Amino acid sequence: MGLNKRVVITGVGVIASNGNSVDEFWNALQNGVSGIGRITHFDPSDYRCQIAGEVKNFDAAEYLDRKEAKSMDRFCHFAVKASDEAVEMAGLSADEQDPERIGVLIGSGIGGLQTLETEVANLINKGPKRVSPMLIPKMIGDMSSGLVSIRHGFKGPNYTAVSACASGTHAIGEAYWTIVRGDADVMVTGGAEAAITPVGIAGFASMRAMSTSNNSPTTASRPFDADRNGFVMAEGSGILILESLESAQARGANIIAEFIGYGATADASHITAPASDGNGAARAIEMAIKHAGISKDEVTYINAHGTSTPLNDKFETLAIKKVFGDRAYKIPVSSTKSMTGHSLGTAGAWETIVCALAAKNNVVPPTINYTTPDPECDLDYVPNEAREVDMNVALNINLGFGGHNATGLVKKFK
């Protein structure tokens, strides 16, 4: 089912453990640079998992005044900074474009967890009168979209997507449809997350979902490798400017790539584990391909969810084989979580940006730390070194607790 209205990417912004700008991030990925280290936000000595992909050398006071910064949770700091970069790259302005035709849709799986932890401690230790009046507006997951809208004066559709680790891709996909159906010309979209907190780390670690390779942080995230033992939490934001081709061309915007298709399905299987037959993810891939109106043979790169957990990597590999058959073995598949860590609601945003930059530059980032092949994960995972590829269409896959599956397709712009 081809769609007549074309949607392009005209700006991107990144805050990540291995780069506080798009250029830093992309250079790190091409060179296999990990941003994972020992947790510094709090003392992790008593925790099973003591490592994470923390954002480094980041000070919100550099771009927000003190009062503004104090009124936002850390995940919103990230969203605002990444949106500033994306908006500047796209050349957007509420003074020069119709602000009612520019919307914001930023996903977050968890929202303001640090704020919630702090205020619960205040409630317990100091009583209800000492709970901050800013608790609710700092904590709620939609506030990143609201604050970006306020900062830039964008008055179009404005909301958030919350679907765990699929939130970023769902946000981008729904922003895409908002443009296609004519409700906006431009959407600021992506994800933001800041869940490297005592409760966040303790909760995931108690599920035995996180890596315990505490003595080797940079090699702990090892998607598809036989010795993988869990994911590594990360934080940050990824923001994209999606825009109708007509709007982008009318204002002479720089076009990075084209967003051509989106798929969303449910496993209806288990609250945390992916469906063991890979069917939900496979159907989401098929849906995106159908919406894009392309052949499966046009897909030349897959950025996998690739969390470095035993079940995800096995079942995701199965889903890719279900869709592409024997050709699955010929498509480069990489997980950039091997370098960034897993940023939950931001993951799909970072990885859609990776797909766009890969399509533009004909370079596929590697899966680092891949040393021991797993017989059940037997695709081409672009081990350890970036690769030049004659790019056409890149597929992004993200899966979230609750059985949420989301996929996006990005194409080299022609």
Point out the residues that are catalytic: 165, 305, 342
In degrees, rounded to 5, the angle at the alpha carbon of residue 11 between the alpha carbons of residues 9 and 17 is 115
367/208 Cα distance (integer angstroms): 23
User: Facing residues of 19 across strands?
Assistant: 16
Query: Residue 135's closest CA among 114, 150, 149?
Result: 114
Sign of the C-alpha dihedral, residues 203, 311, 231, 284? Answer: negative
400/402 Cα distance (integer angstroms): 6
In degrees, rounded to 5, the angle at the alpha carbon of residue 355 between the alpha carbons of residues 353 and 356 is 65
11, 92 in Cβ contact below 8 A? Answer: yes
